[in-house]
Amino acid sequence: MFILIIGAGRVGSAIAKRALEDGYEVSVLDTDPLSHERLDKDPTRTWEDMGGRFTVGAALEVDGLIEAGIEEADVFIAATSGDNTNLVIAQIAQRRFNVPRVVVRVADPGRAAWYAEQGLHTVCPTQIAIDQAMLVALAP
């Protein structure tokens, strides 16, 4: 199974490394070439040594998405720091490239809920934090 992850921040890079260790084929796209460092296993073994793919490019540029392998992707994860970028590229992955499974990180709970109703698989860290904090804070 081939996973394409957009955004090599804390969330994106952590998912990428774990998926690669679990034996999945993983490709990561980020605008910042330096974000690659987050993916390296240690100073002696780079992300590519471990078998990962990395592409520098903007998420809305179709050429970059294709170079990163969107046409072959089984799973697409939109994990950039911008909600709006994530929501747009997730819909591009779903509608234009027909990626079977699309996951979107959306920090804004209101839109995470509405886009989920529209058929996007949204993950909302804010909502999870709210729920967890409420659970602990209001525990009897």
Partner 1 sequence: MYVIIAGAGKVGWNLARELIAKGQEVSLIESDHRRYRVVEEELEHAVQYGDATELWVLERAGIQRADLVIAVTGDDEDNMLICQVAKEKYGAQRIVARVNNPRNVQHFRLLGIQPAVSATDLILRLIEHEVPEYGLVQLLALEEERLEIIELEVCTGSVAAGSRVADVVLPDGSLIISVLRGGAGFVPKADSVIQAGDQVLLILDPGLEEDITPQFAPPAGASVDGAGRR
Residue 112 binding partner 1, by CB under 8 A: no
Strand stretches in the chain, DSSP E:
2-6, 25-30, 53-56, 75-78, 101-105, 121-123
* Interacting residue with partner 1 among 21, 37, 51, 62 (CB under 8 A): 62
Per-residue binding letters, 82-101, with partner 1 (x by CB under 8 A): xxxx-xx--xx--xx-----
CA distances from 105 to 23, 78, 116 (A): 23, 6, 11
Identify whether the C-beta of residue 59 lies closer than 8 Å to the C-beta of residue 7: yes
**Considering CB under 8 A, how many residues would be counted as binding partner 1?**
18
Of the two residues 62 and 133, which places its CB atom closer to partner 1 in the complex?
A: 62
* Interacting residue with partner 1 among 118, 135, 138, 139 (CB under 8 A): 118
Q: Which residues form the interface with partner 1 (CB under 8 A)? A: 60-62, 82-85, 87-88, 91-92, 95-96, 108, 110-111, 114, 118
